[in-house]
Structure 1
Amino acid sequence: MTVGALSEICGPAKSPVVWMRTGHTGYIGPELGVDPHSPSVAVLSIGLDGPFVLETAAHGDIRTGSSFAPARAVHRVVAPEAWILLLFVDTAGAPATGIAEEMTATVGPYGLGHRRERELIELCRADAVDPDRIFAQAIAGHAPAADPRIERVAAAIRQDPNRTFRAETIAANLGLSTTHFLRLFTQQSGTTFRGYQRWTRLMHALRDVATGRDLTCSATDAGFATPSHFSETFHHMFGMSASGVLRSGIRFDLGTSPAP
């Protein structure tokens, strides 16, 4: 496994890539035949070779060119032998709301038909893909201002993912009740306090693995109690095993520095 520089990220017909940035993690590559899954953060999916099928439990199969699934919404994208963009959005700047507002239709909790779908496809097909430009196009500058208190908490979690943060302690430090803090965190970030900690640990472990570290050690250092805990969490988030991802030939672009 190698870490690809930004200039090496290539669109369809070349090699698939995962990038990791503060605020967003993306994948451009073939649809990998995943199981239904439920990420702890929101995800924008776009078919780069044409429409795909969004499978949902409560709303059936939906054919669309792009979809937005909020955090914890169970789904999977089905596009056999076709390339897709998956853009997972973090709490930084509350971007999930900005993307949701760019969808032109809804079915239940899912948004359909991104207004800039064509432009995003073109960006993904470029010879040198710019992850930050894709992210900016996806939110179109419409992300609302985030509560600075929640941004500080999220940043602390990212900086120390293996630490167990207690909602009661943080709430007391902010002068809030625990219930109010947990509600505010979910409203601002689009995911739960515990769910965000799981996501951050997973991203920390994946980043370490991408640099060549042992998977078991990376998972332990990120705060997972056991390798099986990490494996279960990874499958729940992405619908496939971590080893399956690592065997798929995906390259990793980690940017210039780890996410704060």
Structure 2
Amino acid sequence: MAAQTLPSLLYLWDKRTLYIGPLFESLKLSQGAATLVVSLDKPISFSMEGEAETIECTSLLLPAGLSVTIHTQDAVVANCNLDALGADFSGISALMQEKHGKICYNLKQYVEFQQVYKTMYVQQLDSNSAYNLLDDLLEKRFSQFYPNHAIDSRVAKVVEKIKQTADDNLSVDDLASLVNLSVPRLVQIFKKQTGVPMRRYRLWHRLFITAVKIASGGNLTEAAINAGFTDSSHFSHTFKAMFGMAPTIILLQPNGLKIVIPNP
């Protein structure tokens, strides 16, 4: 695949985000969302924090909040941040062939996933076309293999409220009152459902809001502040902590980057 001749794609949707393109350095991730990584051309590898072993694979599924290093070897990859409430992660877990600690790797249906992502990348699909393809791939095509996944409506309500008020920094007390729970109980069930604490999820969503504002023509500093970050430095620090690289690595890559957002 002539990766260098195509701009990378960053699709931003409310439910998921998806990056497709080459990655030119290893990633030290501590994600705010569960993530599916699929190589589109050559094998990649990963290593767990505190372990010397490196495992080669063509795809890997990471739970939210896990620290891991991905060695991309300049591969073209599809990096999909999955839905916050865990339905994607639960289903795709059933499609993985192998497991190391909390990481699942090597999709049984790797060829099908690879083909869908290649179609998006080579055809440089618009937001709606790409989302329909991805939604079919993740939710419908292999759903007969998926276990039942319970979603706590109280956590779903809190996630939606955080999305609506990311720049307001509502207190945990306010969020607990919203769903008639004590703070300790909300903290417990939120972490169980999403895999991350509320504060980390809020930061994750602020990264999303910042990227959407940049795609809409805003500059980085204004976009970061409007999303609730103290300044652009706070944004960059959070981005690197979660994605394992500085935002400039993504935004200023040599083959270019196209940020794709839904039509208003």
CA RMSD of aligned residues (A): 2.1
Q: Bigger shift: 72-81 or 223-232?
A: 72-81
Q: Secondary structure at the match of 1:55?
A: strand
Q: Bigger shift: 219-228 or 50-59?
A: 50-59
* Other-structure match for 2:36: 44
Q: Secondary structure at the match of 2:7?
A: coil
Query: Counterparts of 1:228-239 in structure 2 under 5 Å?
Result: 228-239=233-244
Query: Counterparts of 1:1-16 in structure 2 under 5 Å?
Result: 12=3, 14-16=6-8
Confirm or deny: 8 A CA contact 1:22 1:92 kept in the other structure. Answer: no
Letter in structure 1 aligned against 2:210: A
Specify which of 65, 71, 83 is matched with residue 72 of structure 1. Answer: 65
Confirm or deny: 8 A CA contact 1:31 1:77 kept in the other structure. Answer: no
- Which stretches of structure 1, 4 residues or more, deviate above 4 A after TM superposition? 10-13
Q: 1:118 to 1:172 in 2, by over 3 A?
A: same
Superposed displacement of residue 57, structure 1: 1.8
* Other-structure match for 1:121: 114
Residue 55 of structure 1 pairs with residue 47 of structure 2: yes
Residues 15-46 of structure 1: CA deviation (Å, up to 9, x unaligned): 21010112110011012314412111111111
Superposed displacement of residue 88, structure 1: 0.6
Measure the CA separation in 2 of the matches of 1:156 and 1:175: 14
Residue 32 of structure 1 pairs with residue 37 of structure 2: no
Specify which of 100, 104, 116 is matched with residue 111 of structure 1. Answer: 104
Residues 234-255 of structure 1: CA deviation (Å, up to 9, x unaligned): 1111111122321111101112
TM-score for both structures, normalised by structure 1:
0.87
Residue 247 of structure 1 pairs with residue 252 of structure 2: yes
Higher relative CO (CA 8 A, sep ≥ 6), structure 1 or 2? 1
Measure the CA separation in 2 of the matches of 1:135 and 1:73: 24
Measure the CA separation in 2 of the matches of 1:167 and 1:190: 17
Measure the CA separation in 2 of the matches of 1:36 and 1:114: 22
Superposed displacement of residue 179, structure 1: 1.4
TM-score for both structures, normalised by structure 2:
0.86
Letter in structure 2 aligned against 1:134: L
Superposed displacement of residue 190, structure 1: 2.4
Confirm or deny: 8 A CA contact 1:116 1:137 kept in the other structure. Answer: no
Q: Bigger shift: 166-175 or 215-224?
A: 166-175
Q: Bigger shift: 92-101 or 232-241?
A: 92-101
Superposed displacement of residue 219, structure 1: 0.4
* Other-structure match for 1:3: none
Q: Which runs of 5+ in 1 are unaligned?
A: 1-9
Q: 1:151 to 1:11 in 2, by over 3 A?
A: farther
* Other-structure match for 1:188: 193
* Other-structure match for 2:10: 18
Measure the CA separation in 2 of the matches of 1:11 and 1:188: 40
Query: Counterparts of 1:202-241 in structure 2 under 5 Å?
Result: 202-241=207-246
Superposed displacement of residue 11, structure 1: 9.1
Measure the CA separation in 2 of the matches of 1:242 and 1:85: 17
Letter in structure 2 aligned against 1:72: G
Measure the CA separation in 1 of the matches of 2:62 and 2:34: 6
Q: Which runs of 5+ in 2 are unaligned?
A: none
Confirm or deny: 8 A CA contact 2:85 2:193 kept in the other structure. Answer: no
